[in-house]
Amino acid sequence: MLEAIDADGIGAAQGDPLRDGVVVFVEADCPTCLLTITRLAQAGIDDVGIIFEDPAPVAARSARQAGYRGPVYAEAAPYATSERLGIETVPTAVRFDDAGAELERSVGWDRAALAALLNADLGSDEPATKPGCAARWTYTTEPLDELEEMFDLGYSDGLPVVPPTPQRVEAMLGGRDPALTLGPVPPGNGEATYERIATCAVLAGCKPSYFPVVLAACEAMLDEAFNLNGLAVTTSPPGQTVIVNGPIRERIGLHSGVGALGPGWRANMTIGRAVRLVVHLTGKGAPGGLDRGTLGHPGKLGLCIAEADSPWLPLHVERGYPREASTATVIGGDAPLSVSDHRSKHPEQLAATLAWAAAATWSPNWWPLADVTQLFVICPEHVALFNDAGWSKDDVRTAIFATPRRTGAELTGFGEAAAAAHLHPDQTFRKWLDPAQIMLIAAGGEAGRFSAVFGPCLGMGSIPITREIT
């Protein structure tokens, strides 16, 4: 049964659309159908009934996107009208007489044939012809559950995804060449074409305005020095954390305040998820497959942080970029550990709290940590305490580095203290070998003295990589 659509921007349906006029049978997932509707709209035609083999909300949305202002109808499964009329391909245009008898039809997008059927000028834009798609009744008698289909196809990270229709992927690409590539994605080495990255961004729920960030983050992640292959197959838990700096944060709504590590913020959550889906799908780094993480951690679904404005030097400026540039930095790391300090009154005390919390990550007895960078996210109240004392990021970094020390005697007896076992009991160990291993960013809500430190990504030789967002 045909359902007339009553929505803004859509013409009112009058009478029986299958009598004395022309109707076009379409479906929303068919690119040729959308091409046809768009061309009718561009030609100013608004007296043709468009019959969607889709739910009413989908039909209304698709008609509005195409700019069509004539009457629109929807028909649910099993699409009895299409089957009765033998509509095997969409789009199909049919002209009826006033008794409901078919006079003629045009199948697919055939500009000349459809123009003749309508007695209208449809312009001269290419293509002149384009084949259509199978009508829904020819291959299913049940409504298509797109979300379940994505799970069945393996296009998910365990959560529902947005079906990557051609229209959505094209919108995500924003005119970029879909064949351009960033190279192979470890560990499975699928090719990171722009089209595949855009598909992952659609699946993740990104808006097209987020895509430049996703591209820059993927480019950083695929830098050889990041060692994605090691991160993707290890039994340890690390994921890829994206840190965004620069003006693009405000332009696309990236969040750096309350709940900065999530959940709740679409840009942050979907950008991080898109980057992970590139690893998961294109790189075949899925848990239980090539990803052999013993436990993993929730942040491996995707984690994107926007550094907040603060009195400190922004991360991207520290890393050599102009302040006005927008950048994405990717760092490998374990889950974040919340660090509460509501009592320190002096910067030395707060630095010690942060340092000893970090010293417990990975293993409390693995000293020193070599070839790693550890990420600290410092909340505004903690930043203010440091800043009021005149401490820069470098001052905080130096204090954190200098604080945790343990002797060989303290570490003896722990199986993981291999380095200490070969040295004198009085030998003093620092947790890190160099202050440069400590990365600091500012983020979080204005109230609450909770900062965080991420566990390190040990044994990979992975270094953080920054790329400019263009």
Cα–Cα dist 376/341, whole Å = 14
* Helices and strands (DSSP H and E) totals, the chain: 17, 22
Q: Write out the E strands in 123-179.
A: 129-130, 133-134
Q: Write out the E strands in 116-176.
A: 129-130, 133-134
Q: Tell me, what amino acid is at 26? A: V
Cα–Cα dist 29/165, whole Å = 7
Q: Which pLDDT score, from 0 to 100, does residue 380 have?
A: 98
Residue 151 CB-density burial (10 A; 0-12 exposed, 13-18 middle, 19+ buried) = middle
Q: What is the mean pLDDT of residues 310-336?
A: 97
Q: Which pLDDT score, from 0 to 100, does residue 143 have?
A: 57
Q: What is the mean pLDDT of residues 177-192?
A: 96
Contact 58, 52 (CB under 8 A): yes
pLDDT at 417 over 60: no
Contact 280, 157 (CB under 8 A): yes
N- to C-terminal Cα distance for the chain?
A: 50
Q: Indicate the average pLDDT of the chain.
A: 92
pLDDT at 427 over 90: no
CATH 3.40.30.10 describes domain 2-138: yes
- Cis ω for the linkage preceding 187 (within 30 of 0): yes
Q: Which pLDDT score, from 0 to 100, does residue 13 have?
A: 63
Q: What is the mean pLDDT of residues 287-304?
A: 92
Nearest CA among 80, 79, 11 for reference residue 48: 11
Q: Which pLDDT score, from 0 to 100, does residue 19 have?
A: 87
Where in the chain are the domains?
A: 2-138, 145-321, 336-454
Give the residue, 275 or 150, on which the prediction is more confident. Answer: 275
Q: How far is CA 315 from CA 131, 183, 233, 239, 323, in A?
A: 51, 27, 28, 20, 10
Q: Write out the E strands in 102-231.
A: 102-107, 109-110, 129-130, 133-134, 181-185, 190-193
Q: Which pLDDT score, from 0 to 100, does residue 414 have?
A: 64
Is 263 in a helix, a strand, or coil?
Answer: coil
Q: Tell me, what amino acid is at 417? A: A
- This prediction's pTM: 0.74
